[in-house]
C-alpha cells in the first residue's frame, strides 16, 4: 500500500486509511477520538474560507481604528482601544505584560489572516504561491496563541465592572470586535493542513487547468484502522510498529530512517520525530515554573487603585469576592473559573499525564487523552484577567481623581498562562498510548 494513502493519528499514532474526500465533514480517530487533520475536502470550501478571511481582515482594521469602550466620570472622558491598552501597560513599566497582550490580541491574529490570504488567493486561482511551506507552517505556529475571543470576554467583564463606577458607552470597535470573534471562529475551524492536498494537485501535471470546484469531489468514505493479518498479533498497527512516521506539520506518512538523527519531512521539511524528544522533561520543567508563578499570581495585587488620595490593592480572589458581594454572581463564577480553577486544573491534569506517562501506565488511555484535549482547548481562557487589567488601566486614568495601574500579579499570572500552554504543547500525547491496549471503538 502507498504511504500517501495512509494517515497517522497525531495523538495515538494509529495508522488509518485516508479517504479520498470527506466532503466537508470531520473525521475522528477510532482509537483515541482525536480529530484527524490533513484530510482532503475537510472543512468549508476554499471560496468560503477566502471570503471570510478577507472580511475578518477588514473587520480587524475597523476594530483597531475605533474605540472599544468609552467611559465618562465627573465630566471627564476616556476611551480604550486595543493599541491604547498595550500602550498603557507599556508606559506603566509592565512591558512584558504589554507584549503578551499585543501578541495575543493583535499581532498573531493579524499574521494568521495575512498568511491565509497570501496562500488562499493564489490557490483559488490555481497557482502555487512562493514559500508555501514557510507560510503554512507560520499559520500553524501562531494559531494557538491568538486570543481575540478571550479579549472579547474580557471586554464584557470590564464593562460590567466599570458600570458601577461611571457611565460606560460601547464604542464602534466593540461591535466590530464581536463580529471579528465570530469570523475568526470560522477561520480557525479551517484545517490549514488540507491545503497540502491542494498544493499537490496543482503541482501534478495531470491536474493542470482543473479548477478548485472540481478538486473537492470524491467518494467520501470513512477512515478505517489498519489491522494486522497475523494471528495472535495486535489487531491494530501504529506508525511506530510499522517503521513509519507521520509529519505533524503536513500529515504525510513516510518511512523512518533509523540511522538519521534529524530526519525531515520529504514534503514540508519539518522535523520528524517518533516521539517528541525530552517531552516529559520539558513538560515537568515548565509545570514547576508555572506552579511557582501561580503562588504570587494569587497572593500579590493584580491592580493598584488610587482614588482621591486613597490607595487600594486588588487581588484576583478579591475581584471574585467583589463581583459576588455586589450581586454579579454569574460574572464572579466566570472570573473564578477562568482565573483560578482553569490554571489549577491545567497544573493538576498535566501533572497526572506526565506521571502516568513516566511510569508507563496503560490506565484509561482514552480518558487521559480526553483530559489532554480539554487542557489544550481551555488553556487560553486563563488570559481573561490579564485582558481585564489592560482595559481597566486604559480606561481609569483621570489624573488625581482616579488612577488604576497594573500590579505584579499581572506579570506572574501571564507567566502562568504562557508556561502552562507551553507545557501542554511540549507533552507528546502519543506517550499515553504506548503502553495501552489495542482496543478500537467500533464504527457505526
In the chain, where the domains are located: 278-436
The confidence score (pLDDT) of residue 310 equals 74
The confidence score (pLDDT) of residue 5 equals 80
Return the beta strands (E) in 191-326 as ranges. 244-246, 253-255, 303-307, 310-314
Within the chain, which residues score under 70 in pLDDT?
A: 1-3, 20-25, 40-44, 205-235, 308-309, 398-401, 437-444
Element (H, E) at 9: none
The confidence score (pLDDT) of residue 209 equals 42
pTM for the whole thing?
A: 0.88
Hey, what's the cell of 183?
469570523
Hey, what's the cell of 70?
468609552
Q: Pick the closest to residue 395 from 404, 385, 408 (CA basis).
A: 404
Question: Do the Cβ atoms of 274 and 341 come closer than 8 Å?
Answer: no
The confidence score (pLDDT) of residue 262 equals 83
The confidence score (pLDDT) of residue 218 equals 35
Q: What share of the chain is helix, strand, coil (3-state, %, to 5)?
A: 55, 10, 35
CB count in 10 Å sphere of residue 405: 21
Beta-sheet strand order (sheet of 167-170): 76-80, 69-73, 167-170
The confidence score (pLDDT) of residue 229 equals 47
Cα–Cα distance for residue pair 141/340, rounded to 1 Å: 27
Cα–Cα distance for residue pair 144/138, rounded to 1 Å: 11
Cα–Cα distance for residue pair 177/60, rounded to 1 Å: 7
The confidence score (pLDDT) of residue 345 equals 93
Hey, what's the cell of 229?
493479518
Return the beta strands (E) in 270-381 as ranges. 303-307, 310-314
Q: In this structure, what DSSP letter does residue 168 have?
A: E
Pick the CATH number of 278-436 from 3.40.50, 1.10.3300, 1.20.140, 1.10.3470: 1.20.140
Element (H, E) at 6: strand 6-8
Distance of CA 183 to the CA centre of its chain: 15
Hey, what's the cell of 328?
454579579
Amino acid at each position: 500500500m502507498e504511504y500517501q494513502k495512509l494517515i497517522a493519528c497525531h495523538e495515538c499514532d494509529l495508522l488509518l486509511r485516508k479517504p479520498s474526500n470527506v466532503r466537508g465533514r470531520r473525521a475522528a480517530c477510532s482509537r483515541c477520538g482525536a480529530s484527524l487533520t490533513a484530510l482532503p475536502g475537510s472543512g468549508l470550501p476554499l471560496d468560503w474560507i477566502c471570503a471570510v478571511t478577507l472580511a475578518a481582515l477588514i473587520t480587524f482594521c475597523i476594530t483597531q481604528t475605533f474605540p472599544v469602550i468609552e467611559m465618562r466620570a465627573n465630566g471627564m472622558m476616556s476611551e480604550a482601544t486595543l493599541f491604547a491598552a498595550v500602550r498603557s501597560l507599556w508606559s506603566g513599566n509592565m512591558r512584558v505584560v504589554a507584549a503578551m497582550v499585543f501578541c495575543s490580541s493583535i499581532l498573531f491574529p493579524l499574521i494568521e489572516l495575512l498568511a491565509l490570504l497570501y496562500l488562499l488567493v493564489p490557490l483559488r486561482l490555481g497557482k502555487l504561491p512562493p514559500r508555501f511551506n514557510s507560510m503554512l507552517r507560520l499559520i500553524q505556529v501562531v494559531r494557538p496563541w491568538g486570543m481575540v475571543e478571550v479579549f472579547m470576554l474580557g471586554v464584557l467583564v470590564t464593562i460590567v465592572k466599570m458600570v458601577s463606577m461611571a457611565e460606560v458607552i460601547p464604542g464602534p470597535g466593540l461591535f466590530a470586535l464581536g463580529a471579528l470573534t465570530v469570523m475568526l471562529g470560522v477561520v480557525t475551524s479551517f484545517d490549514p493542513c488540507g491545503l497540502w492536498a491542494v498544493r499537490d494537485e496543482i503541482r501534478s501535471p495531470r491536474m493542470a487547468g482543473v479548477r478548485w470546484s472540481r478538486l473537492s469531489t470524491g467518494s467520501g468514505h470513512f477512515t478505517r484502522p489498519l489491522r494486522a493479518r497475523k494471528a495472535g498479533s495486535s489487531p491494530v498497527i501504529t506508525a511506530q510498529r510499522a517503521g513509519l512516521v507521520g509529519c505533524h506539520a503536513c500529515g504525510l506518512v513516510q518511512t523512518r530512517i533509523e540511522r538519521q538523527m534529524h530526519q525531515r519531512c520529504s514534503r514540508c521539511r519539518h522535523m520528524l520525530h517518533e516521539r517528541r524528544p525530552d517531552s516529559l522533561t520539558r513538560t515537568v520543567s515548565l509545570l514547576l515554573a508555572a506552579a511557582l508563578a501561580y503562588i504570587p499570581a494569587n497572593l500579590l495585587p493584580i491592580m493598584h487603585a488610587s482614588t482621591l488620595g486613597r490607595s487600594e490593592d486588588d487581588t484576583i480572589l478579591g475581584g471574585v469576592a467583589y463581583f459576588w458581594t455586589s450581586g454579579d454572581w454569574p460574572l464572579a463564577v466566570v472570573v473564578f473559573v477562568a482565573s483560578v480553577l482553569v490554571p489549577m486544573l491545567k497544573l493538576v491534569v498535566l501533572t497526572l499525564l506526565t506521571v502516568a506517562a513516566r511510569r508507563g501506565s496503560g490506565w484509561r488511555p482514552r480518558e487521559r487523552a480526553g483530559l489532554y484535549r480539554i487542557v489544550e482547548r481551555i488553556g487560553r481562557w486563563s488570559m481573561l484577567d490579564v485582558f481585564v487589567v489592560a482595559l481597566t488601566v486604559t480606561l481609569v486614568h483621570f489624573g488625581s481623581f482616579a488612577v488604576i495601574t497594573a500590579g505584579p500579579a499581572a506579570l506572574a499570572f501571564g507567566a502562568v498562562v504562557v508556561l502552562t500552554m507551553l507545557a501542554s504543547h511540549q507533552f507528546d500525547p502519543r506517550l499515553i498510548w504506548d503502553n495501552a491496549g489495542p482496543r478500537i471503538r467500533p464504527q457505526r
